[in-house]
């Protein structure tokens, strides 16, 4: 029946006023923290940077196989199996990527009695494949092993990229997975991505190693260059300490030398190792190596047992801040390569907002004019409902501080059209009912009831499409489906509660008129 209790009227009025107030927070500043929320503008509206990063998993695979060669060598040594060749080969394997495999050549091999047989159950798994040809064995990653390794690297890289960007304080970054070896980074409001690119392009693999006194490379050492000069040094491959032992790193000014340095604090294990290394290495140079380049190589003057120290290297305050940030966020599991980059200027974003608002206003005005001419006073009710519907939609987006994109504006415009469509279905049905029913109250009530099925069917099928787009789509598609989905709920609420309430109030006062619509 066309009846609303006082409690329902109060409820509808309070809900409407609440969302109008919340939506208004995008235009005005409120002291209340809850009411001071705003809708965030996406990359296409605010401008900013778009980076698509690809993870280079080759070093990870190489490191995994290097570790496996040590395990294999020790295993064969324990079993008394003689090896003439244990090396890593470059081969074309899965996914058309240059991967590697381990080749093992075994002397005095007997397939029936050799101690190699226990190797199979111990080392062969879903991650590794073993190929046997006479006395030559090849061990490489299986397809499943490659997928698991890439997924693990991507998860670690995603978390570290997020930490680095959050430390800078970028507003509402969007960081997403793409496939199993790519990461998408969207940074609204950032029109100069050079610092971000520099930070994301560094693996930040920090190690502390002794500089050897030998004049040339040996099995346990390697030649590394200094970061800012062409000088070189022979550095031991033995790692005294790694970045995994860091608890904190901060830029500081050295009061004695007036030089910008990076001070660091080690965990308990790191402090113990560092203290032992500095006590036995007094007089030696300790190289601080970042991503394969020597930052500095100070001479150890005394034992450092406090678990803290400083890294110097002619830093500016900005470079020291960035280095400290990299060390705090941790080392990437694999290098990241920028394969796609786009920058959207703020002027282009403003033009997009302007064009979207103009389209919304023009469409809204045309709808208002048409509905008013067609349904007179009920057209006016529909138009008021449309305005409230927009406030409801914007209010919900504001509460969740959603990110609005250009396709999202398209979803809002489509919501306006669907709201009008629902009202048109109702009023046309009411016209049909009035032809057969003299009582206006009964005719209006029947119109609302009998049009409900068609309206729900249309909105539910659209909602299903929006849900599929949200979960299957990405980026702009999600923005469109989100505003469209929320718009469906606000439309049904505004049509069956707000518009119906206004209609009830008018029809109740004018029920004796012969022609209401």
Give a yes or no: residue 183 inside a domain: no
- Tell me the whole-structure pTM to 2 decimals: 0.65
Tens-place pLDDT, residues 333-384 = 888 998 988 877 666 667 777 787 788 788 778 888 888 888 888 999 998 9
Classify residue 438 by its DSSP letter.
S
Measured CA to CA, the distance from residue 184 to residue 173 in angstroms comes to 10
Instruction: Answer with the residue of higher pLDDT: 40 or 110.
Output: 40
Give a yes or no: residue 201 inside a domain: no
Compute the mean pLDDT over every residue in the chain, rounded to the nearest whole number: 81
Assess contact for 121 and 131: CB atoms under 8 A.
no
Give a yes or no: residue 199 inside a domain: no
Q: Let me know whether 337 and 355 are in one domain.
A: no
Dihedral class, residue 81 (left if φ above 0, else alpha if ψ from -120 to 50, else beta): beta
Q: Let me know whether 23 and 86 are in one domain.
A: no
Q: Let me know whether 416 and 481 are in one domain.
A: yes
Give a yes or no: residue 325 inside a domain: yes
Q: Let me know whether 365 and 466 are in one domain.
A: yes
Provide the pLDDT for residue 392.
94
Measured CA to CA, the distance from residue 478 to residue 482 in angstroms comes to 6
Query: What CATH number does residue 226 fall under?
Result: 3.30.1360.200
Q: Let me know whether 37 and 83 are in one domain.
A: no
Give the mean pLDDT of 182-208: 83
Give the mean pLDDT of 483-487: 93
Is the predicted pLDDT of residue 239 greater than 80, yes or no?
yes
Between strands 136-141 and 336-344, the pairing is unpaired
Q: Let me know whether 17 and 87 are in one domain.
A: no
Q: Let me know whether 220 and 292 are in one domain.
A: yes
CA dihedral 172, 173, 179, 182 (to 10 degrees): 180
Q: Let me know whether 374 and 330 are in one domain.
A: no
Question: E strands along 366-488, which residues?
Answer: 403-404
Which of 97, 128, 143 marks a domain boundary? 143
Give a yes or no: residue 77 inside a domain: yes
Dihedral class, residue 150 (left if φ above 0, else alpha if ψ from -120 to 50, else beta): alpha
Choose among 18, 10, 9: nearest CA to 391: 18
Give a yes or no: residue 165 inside a domain: no
Question: Which residues are CB-contacts of 378 (< 8 A; sequence separation ≥ 6)?
Answer: 427, 503, 506, 516, 517
Question: Out of 130-144, 149-163, 232-246, 414-428, which region has the weakest mean confidence (pLDDT)?
Answer: 130-144
Is the predicted pLDDT of residue 467 greater than 70, yes or no?
yes
Query: What CATH number does residue 420 fall under?
Result: 1.20.1640.10
How many Cβ atoms from other residues are within 10 Å of residue 403's Cβ?
Answer: 21
Q: Let me know whether 427 and 461 are in one domain.
A: yes
Q: Let me know whether 338 and 403 are in one domain.
A: no
Give a yes or no: residue 252 inside a domain: yes
For residue 90, what are the CA distances in angstroms to 95, 139, 147, 335, 339? 14, 12, 19, 19, 24
H helix runs in 281-376, sequence order: 317-329, 346-375
Assess contact for 61 and 100: CB atoms under 8 A.
yes
Question: Out of 35-49, 222-236, 343-357, 398-412, which region has the weakest mean confidence (pLDDT)?
Answer: 343-357
For the chain, the straight-line distance linking the first and the last C-alpha, in angstroms and rounded, comes to: 19
Classify residue 243 by its DSSP letter.
G
Phi, psi (deg, nearest 5) at residue 133: -135, 105
Q: Rounded to the nearest 5 degrees, what angle is found at the Cα of 411, between the Cα atoms of 408 and 415?
A: 145
Choose among 493, 318, 516: nearest CA to 427: 516
Provide the pLDDT for residue 205.
86
Q: Let me know whether 96 and 14 are in one domain.
A: no
**Containing domain of residue 498, as a range?**
6-47+346-509
Measured CA to CA, the distance from residue 334 to residue 324 in angstroms comes to 19
Which of 308, 342, 376 marks a domain boundary? 342
Q: Give strand pairing partners of 289.
A: 207, 294
Question: E strands along 154-220, which residues?
Answer: 174-178, 182-188, 206-210
Dihedral class, residue 140 (left if φ above 0, else alpha if ψ from -120 to 50, else beta): beta
Classify residue 47 by its DSSP letter.
-
């Amino acid at each position: 029946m066309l009846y609303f209790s006082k409690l329902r009227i109060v409820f509808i009025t309070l809900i409407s006023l609440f969302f109008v107030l919340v939506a208004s927070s995008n235009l005005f500043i409120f002291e209340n923290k809850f009411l001071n929320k705003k809708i965030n503008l996406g990359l296409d509206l605010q401008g900013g940077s778009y980076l698509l990063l690809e993870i280079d998993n080759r070093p990870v695979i190489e490191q995994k196989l290097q570790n496996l060669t040590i395990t294999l060598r020790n295993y064969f040594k324990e079993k008394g199996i003689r090896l003439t060749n244990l090396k890593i080969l470059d081969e074309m394997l899965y996914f058309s990527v240059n991967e590697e495999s381990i080749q093992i050549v075994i002397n005095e091999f007997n397939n029936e009695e050799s101690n190699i047989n226990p190797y199979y159950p111990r080392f062969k798994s879903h991650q590794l494949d073993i190929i046997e040809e006479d006395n030559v064995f090849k061990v490489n990653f299986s397809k499943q092993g490659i997928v698991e390794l890439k997924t693990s690297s991507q998860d670690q890289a995603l978390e570290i990229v997020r930490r680095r960007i959050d430390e800078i304080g970028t507003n509402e970054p969007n960081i997403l997975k793409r496939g199993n070896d790519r990461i998408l980074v969207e940074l609204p409001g950032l029109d100069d991505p050079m610092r971000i690119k520099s930070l994301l392009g560094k693996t930040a693999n920090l190690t502390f190693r002794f500089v050897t006194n030998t004049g040339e490379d040996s099995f346990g050492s390697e030649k590394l260059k200094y970061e800012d000069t062409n000088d070189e040094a022979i550095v031991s491959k033995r790692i005294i300490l790694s970045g995994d032992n860091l608890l904190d790193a901060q830029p500081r000014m050295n009061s004695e030398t007036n030089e910008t340095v990076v001070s660091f604090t080690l965990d308990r294990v790191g402090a113990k190792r560092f203290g032992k290394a500095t006590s036995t290495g007094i007089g030696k140079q300790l190289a601080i190596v970042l991503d394969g380049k020597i930052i500095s190589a100070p001479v150890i003057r005394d034992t450092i047992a406090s678990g803290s120290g400083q890294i110097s290297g002619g830093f500016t305050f900005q470079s020291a801040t960035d280095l400290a940030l990299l060390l705090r966020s941790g080392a990437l599991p694999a290098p990241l390569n920028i394969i796609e980059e786009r920058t959207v200027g703020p002027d282009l974003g403003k033009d997009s907002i302007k064009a979207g608002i103009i389209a919304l206003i023009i469409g809204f005005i045309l709808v208002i004019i048409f509905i008013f001419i067609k349904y007179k006073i009920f057209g006016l009710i529909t138009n008021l409902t449309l305005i409230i519907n927009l406030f409801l939609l914007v209010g919900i987006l504001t509460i969740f501080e959603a990110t609005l994109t250009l396709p999202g504006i398209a979803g809002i415009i489509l919501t306006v059209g669907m709201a009008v469509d629902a009202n048109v279905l109702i009023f046309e049905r009411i016209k049909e009912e009035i032809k057969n029913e003299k009582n206006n109250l009964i005719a209006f009530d029947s119109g609302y009831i009998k049009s409900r099925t068609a309206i729900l069917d249309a909105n539910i099928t659209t909602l299903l499409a929006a849900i599929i787009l949200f979960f299957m789509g990405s980026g702009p598609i999600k923005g469109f489906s989100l505003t469209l989905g929320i718009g469906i709920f606000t439309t049904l609420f505004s049509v069956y509660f707000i518009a119906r309430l206004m209609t009830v109030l008018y029809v109740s006062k004018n029920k004796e008129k012969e022609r209401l619509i």
